[in-house]
Every structure is written in structure tokens, then in C-alpha cells.
Amino acid sequence: MVPSMPKEDEVELLREINENLKVIRKLTEMQLRGPIKDELTKFASSTERRKMWMLCDGALSTIEMSKRIGVSPRAVQYFVQDGLTAGFLRVDRRGYPSRTIDWTPPEWERVPGEKPKEESKT
């Protein structure tokens, strides 16, 4: 039987593990950026699909995304289904799609009204 750790120690250990996992994830994403970009470019093959990718942050429904981009809700639904199949997207309980890999190639055109990540961190 493992002795019980005080709550503060458990919380601190979990924070440390979380930080280490973030570093490992970042390094892995950096290492795989080329192959990920190639696959992502095949998946998001049009300007509209690239905008859909950028909006898949878990904050918008497919209907809200379609209105913002100017495509049919069905087009966004097809995109989300393709993304789920490819493993690029996940859908939360509310039905809002989000990226499994939180990265967008820097040369992709930004969605009107979307702030770059550097500006949104305040």
C-alpha cells in the first residue's frame, strides 16, 4: 500500500507532471511539424476549409462557423466528419469541434476578425 501524500504535495506533483507533459507535447509538435503540415494541407485543401480549421477551437458550433466563413452548415459538417475520421478534430459534449493538434501553418490566411495568438494573450 502506498502511503498517502498530503494534498498540497499531490497538487504540486500534478502541476509538475502537467508542465512536463506540455514540454514533451511542444517538442513533439515541433519535431513533426513538417509531416503534420503536409497532412493538414491535404485535409484543409481550400481557403474555406483552412478557415474552418482555424475556427475549430471548441468555442463555435458548426452553424456559427458556417455563418462566419460564408459556407453552408453542411460543408462545415462534412469538414468536421472528415476531421474526426483523420484524427485532426474532436467534438465535445456540446457538439463544438476542436483541433487535436493546436497548430496552424503561419502562412495560412487568417479568418476576418480573428486575432493572431500573440495578440490574444493579455
User: For residue 121, what pLDDT band results from cuts at 50, 70 and 90?
Assistant: very low
Q: What is the pLDDT of residue 112?
A: 52
Selection from 115, 101, 116 nearest residue 56 by Cα = 101
State how far the Cα of 28 lies from the Cα of 107, in Å rounded to an integer: 21
Domains of the chain from N-terminus onward: 32-109 (1.10.10.10)
Q: What is the pTM of this model?
A: 0.66
Match 512536463 to its residue by C-alpha cell.
20
Span 75-113, pLDDT tens digits:
999 999 999 999 999 998 888 999 998 888 878 866 554
Taking a C-beta distance cutoff of 8 angstroms, is the pair 51, 71 a contact?
A: no
